[in-house]
């Protein structure tokens, strides 16, 4: 029997492969339903998600599978995203649309970019380079000062000298020199990056995707978490008190959490628990009594005067997510910011800041405030992770524990990546 831990996209996709092959498996999910962070909530006529989870697809086979699961009820979108900086709305990606900045800021960014480009810039991230240095060597100092440094330091709550680019550099669009110059003089370069297009269900929220996958599975146990992994015997103690034997385990649980469950606990696992770090995110979901609050799918806020780092508009994904004549927003705030400010103060300051930037006309037009916490949201990509992670994953695999998904493999990835990782792990075990 193969034990699949976690009913998010990676676990569901793995279980689906095992189901198709007729393999004996059991998927356990600690919540009352599957989906992981791809879950939706209905509140007073509004449909909210755990923030803006969108299906960005490169593999046509993945898209065809999802379309089949949803009977074609999925919409295609071309990204509308921007960065609010210096009182201007700069189309995303920032580095390719400098012409939307005030003249002085545009000139600084372009001059520094060209100066850095003249040195050749980095071909790829080196093992010695920190994230801040890599960004400067890629885009120049001014672009980093206006956007990359304040945005990432706000999100991660630490200096970029403590982070490394490996594992996240793929997600940062790098336009050509010609593209940056054209963008500085008025051209709009919006179709760069992995998320230039995406898909979202036409009915319900993002959880329609995992719900459709789960409906094809026969061996799922809800409200059942993993308590201990007796790896020498390949036995798992479950939250319902039962012990199961497994030939192999596919874990999509956050890796540090899994390491605490190993029995006996090897010394390297204790090192991993201390070394693998993350940030939490507080998602403030808002229902607004006004149509068309924003046409942007999401907006980045690097400046310190805003407690949030990103704001998105659910209702831009479809009118089915809100009552008639209304809009809905998701506002992402770093967990460390909420801890410093306190929840009530953070909500109040967030609403005032949304008015200051022009998204809201007044705090009074907000009729629903629905906060959600993502306790493990973004993995910290630092040098300790870079050094320890391959050894940890290799050792677990040697013991028959295969990790998959964004948090299982402890990295940064898309919904599509989670689906593919789950499939790939299951396929390896089937072979």
Angle of helix 415-430 relative to helix 9-20, nearest 10 degrees, comes to 40
- Quote the pLDDT of residue 121: 64
The mean pLDDT value for 374-399 works out to 97
Query: What's the pLDDT band for 323 if we cut at 50, 70, 90?
Result: very high
**For the chain, what is the radius of gyration of the CA atoms?**
22
Task: State the Cα–Cα distance between residues 184 and 95, nearest whole angstrom.
Answer: 9
When the pLDDT of each residue in the chain is averaged and rounded to a whole number, the result is 96
Task: Name every residue whose Cβ is closer than 8 Å to that of residue 227 and which is 6 or more positions away in sequence.
Answer: 236, 237, 238, 239, 261
Angle at 423 between CA 419 and CA 428, to 5 degrees: 150
| Two tokens, residue 32 | 């009352």
Over 80: is that where the pLDDT of 394 sits?
yes
User: Tokens 């596919």, residue?
Assistant: 250
**Could you give the C-alpha distances from 61 to 57, 117, 426, in angstroms and in order?**
9, 38, 17
pLDDT at 42 over 90: yes
Residue 2 has pLDDT above 90, yes or no: yes
Q: Are 273 and 396 in contact (CB under 8 A)?
A: no
Cis before 93? omega within 30: yes
Distance between CA atoms of 195 and 173, rounded to whole angstroms?
A: 10
Range of lowest pLDDT (48-57, 118-127, 178-187): 118-127
Give per-residue pLDDT as tens, 104-135.
Answer: 999 999 999 999 999 876 655 666 689 999 99
Model confidence at 22: pLDDT above 60: yes
Q: Give me the mean pLDDT over the 325-346 stretch.
A: 97
Q: How far apart are the first and last CA of the chain?
A: 15
Lowest mean per-residue pLDDT among 43-52, 67-76, 180-189, 363-372: 180-189
Predicted confidence at residue 110, as pLDDT, reads: 97
* Residue 28, pLDDT score: 97
């Amino acid at each position: 029997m193969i034990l699949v831990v976690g009913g998010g996209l990676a676990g569901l996709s793995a279980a689906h492969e095992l189901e198709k092959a007729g393999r004996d498996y059991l998927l356990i999910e600690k919540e009352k339903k599957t989906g992981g962070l791809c879950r939706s909530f209905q509140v007073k006529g509004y449909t909210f998600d755990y923030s803006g989870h969108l299906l960005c697809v490169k593999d046509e086979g993945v898209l065809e599978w999802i379309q089949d699961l949803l009977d074609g009820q999925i919409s295609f979108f071309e990204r509308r995203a921007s960065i609010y900086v210096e009182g201007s709305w700069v189309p995303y990606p920032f580095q390719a649309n400098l012409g939307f900045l005030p003249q002085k800021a545009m000139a600084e960014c372009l001059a520094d970019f060209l100066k850095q480009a003249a040195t050749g810039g980095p071909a790829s991230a080196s093992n010695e380079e920190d994230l801040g240095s890599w960004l400067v060597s890629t885009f120049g100092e001014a672009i980093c000062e206006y956007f990359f440094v304040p945005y990432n330091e706000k999100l991660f709550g630490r200096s970029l000298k403590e982070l490394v680019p490996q594992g996240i550099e793929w997600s940062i669009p790098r336009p050509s020199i010609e593209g940056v110059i054209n963008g500085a003089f008025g051209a709009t370069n919006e179709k760069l990056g992995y998320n230039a297009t995406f898909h979202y269900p036409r009915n319900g929220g993002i959880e329609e995707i995992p719900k459709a996958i789960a409906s094809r599975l026969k061996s799922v146990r809800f409200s059942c978490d993993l308590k201990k992994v007796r790896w020498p015997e390949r036995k798992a103690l479950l939250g319902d008190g039962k012990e199961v034997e497994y030939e192999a385990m596919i874990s999509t649980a956050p890796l540090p959490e899994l390491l605490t469950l190993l029995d006996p606990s090897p010394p390297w696992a204790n090192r991993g628990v201390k070394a693998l770090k993350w940030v939490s995110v507080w998602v403030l979901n808002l229902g607004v009594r006004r149509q068309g609050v924003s046409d942007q799918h999401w907006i980045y806020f690097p400046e310190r005067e805003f407690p949030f780092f990103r704001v998105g508009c659910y209702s831009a994904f479809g009118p089915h997510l809100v009552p008639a004549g209304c809009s809905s927003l998701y506002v992402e705030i770093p967990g460390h910011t909420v801890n410093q400010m306190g929840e009530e103060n953070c909500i109040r300051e967030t609403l005032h800041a949304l008015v200051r930037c022009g998204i809201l006309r007044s705090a009074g037009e907000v009729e629903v405030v629905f906060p959600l916490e993502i306790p493990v949201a973004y993995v910290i990509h630092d040098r300790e992770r870079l050094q320890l992670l391959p050894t940890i994953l290799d050792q677990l695999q040697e013991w028959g524990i295969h990790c998959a998904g964004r948090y299982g493999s402890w990295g940064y990835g898309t919904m599509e990546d989670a689906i593919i990782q789950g499939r790939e792990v299951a396929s390896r075990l089937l072979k």
